[in-house]
Amino acid sequence: MFSSRTVKIVVLLMLAAMLLSIVVSGISWMFIG
């Protein structure tokens, strides 16, 4: 079973990936537009 620490790390990684994809799409949208 997963420990709470592992779950927290996975959630943080998912949030970081989501933020990174949003930033990248925003920057590319700015360059395109």
1-33 pLDDT per residue, tens = 678 999 999 999 999 999 999 999 999 999 988
- Looking at the structure of the chain, the number of domains it has is 1
The residue type at 24 = V
The residue type at 27 = I
Q: Give percent above pLDDT 90 in the chain.
A: 82
Its domain, for residue 20, covers 1-33
Q: Where are the beta strands (DSSP E) in the chain?
A: none
Q: Which residues contact 10 (CB under 8 A, 6 or more apart)?
A: 2
**Residue that is written with structure tokens 């799409």 in the block:** 25
